[in-house]
Amino acid sequence: MIILGSVMVLTMGIMLFVALNIPKDNHKITIKVSTHNPTIEEILAQNPNADAFVFGNIVYKGGINWVNELNLTKGKHLGEIQVHNKATKLLIGAEVYEPIENHGLILIVKINEEELRYLGLVEG
């Protein structure tokens, strides 16, 4: 009986919420949903200090703990960081590799003898 009463109160509360939020004067509520891969500008708007770069039209972000903890082996050389990669912290000429292990959109960037890991940010 208590459960039934609680359900009725919850249902009435939801109905009241909906009734109070119906647009007045026949105005329509429009919700725009847009999904796209984030841009470097969007990443920097969220965090101006983000370590990121663009590679193959995908933004890759560094400093992600679980990605850094993966045991990855440097595989195929994909290229080097150039001006058009819009790197926020990486220097031009840093070497970009794909890992031998298949872990999705992760790249390895080699700077001197240090290897950094970056995760591709895609909507999906």
- The number of folded domains in the chain is 1
Residue 109, domain member (yes or no):
yes
Residue 4, domain member (yes or no):
no
Question: Quick check: pTM over 0.75?
Answer: no
- What average pLDDT does the chain have? 82
Per-residue confidence (pLDDT) for residue 102, from 0 to 100:
84
Dist CA 123 CA 38 (whole Å): 8
pLDDT tens per residue across span 24-45: 555 666 665 668 899 999 999 9
CB 122 within 8 A of CB 107: no
CA distances from 27 to 20, 24, 32 (A): 14, 6, 16
pLDDT tens per residue across span 42-97: 999 999 999 999 999 999 999 999 999 999 999 999 999 998 889 999 999 999 99
Per-residue confidence (pLDDT) for residue 103, from 0 to 100:
78
Dist CA 17 CA 41 (whole Å): 37
Residue 5, domain member (yes or no):
no
Any idea what the Cα angle at residue 119 is, between residues 114 and 124, rounded to 5°? 170
